[in-house]
Structure 1
Amino acid sequence: MSAVDTRNVSRDSLFLFAELAFDGRVGLVRAKVRNLSAGGMMAESGVAAGRGERITVRLRNIGEVRGTVAWVHGNRFGIAFDCEIDPQLARAPVSAGDNAASRYPRPGTGIYPAASGHGLRPL
């Protein structure tokens, strides 16, 4: 889908956080998710993103999703996912039965191996 085609895709406006790992960069970036659809999302972050950059996004209740930065406007940027997701899953509450504490630790807790390239650990 081109950027023009995606303007008519249904998206959910919401406010949650995601962890981003840009290919070729060290460390994780925490970003606000401004809207989310099956094919992509709008993120807001203090870290500059470049159009065309490859990225891994970790979303609550969904896990890691690969994609490409499709557009950039100031501190907001769009990410086109490689595969469609169910955006409603990100809205669902995280239950204790999901072992949420081990899947979504606080940043800086040291469970992400520094030498793994992008810094995300497998789910």
Structure 2
Amino acid sequence: MTTPDIRRHTRDSLYLMAQCQHLGSGQSARIRVRNLSPEGLMAEGDMRVFHGDAVAVDLRNIGVVTGVVAWVQGNRFGLALGTTIDPQLARQPVTGVDTRDYYQRGPVGVLERPQEIDPRRARLI
């Protein structure tokens, strides 16, 4: 029996490289974002994460967004974002405008654990 899909937003399939940082250990790795919605994403890569971990992902044309790992399956994981984004921005060509001002970010290269992450948003599979 499969778990019903209870997402509020449709997911936009894409193939986008991004930098991901584990906010607990500081581990950082390049990941592939496979789909993106206003409140979450699915990624794959060699980043070792567990259900409930807080991570930050630097998305093209969006900037750094933070969230909680909702599920892990092999080298793929789902991330419930701590803020709502416009996923169409990631599909647009890179511009000279830095959109990261709209998202919480510490000094360049230093990401802080945000207060808005709620582990209860993560779902078990």
How far residue 117 of structure 1 moved from its aligned partner, in angstroms, is: 6.5
Equivalent in the alignment of 1:49: 49
Tell which deviates more after alignment, 23-32 or 37-46: 23-32
Partner Cα separation in structure 1 for residue 31 and residue 56 of structure 2: 12
Q: Which amino acid aligns with 1:84?
A: T
User: What percent of counterpart residues are identical?
Assistant: 47
Equivalent in the alignment of 1:91: 91
How far residue 4 of structure 1 moved from its aligned partner, in angstroms, is: 4.4
SS at match of 1:5: coil
Structure 2: stretches of 5+ with no match in the other structure: 101-107, 113-125
Partner Cα separation in structure 1 for residue 27 and residue 70 of structure 2: 21
> Mapping of 1:21-100 within 5 angstroms?
21-95=21-95, 97-98=96-97
After superposition, the CA RMSD in angstroms is 2.3
TM-score by length of 1: 0.73
How far residue 23 of structure 1 moved from its aligned partner, in angstroms, is: 1.3
Alignment coverage as a number of residue pairs: 102
| CA separation of 1:27 and 1:4: change in aligned 2, threshold 3 A | same
Any conservation in 2 of the 1:24–1:117 contact (CA below 8 Å)?
A: no
Q: Which amino acid aligns with 1:88?
A: Q
| CA separation of 1:47 and 1:86: change in aligned 2, threshold 3 A | same
Any conservation in 1 of the 2:56–2:111 contact (CA below 8 Å)?
A: no
Which runs of 4 or more aligned residues in structure 1 lie more than 4 Å from their structure 2 counterparts after TM superposition?
A: none
Q: Which amino acid aligns with 1:5?
A: I
Residue deviations 1:69-120, cap 9 Å, x none?
A: 000000000000011100000000003x337xxx9xxxxxxx84xxx477xx
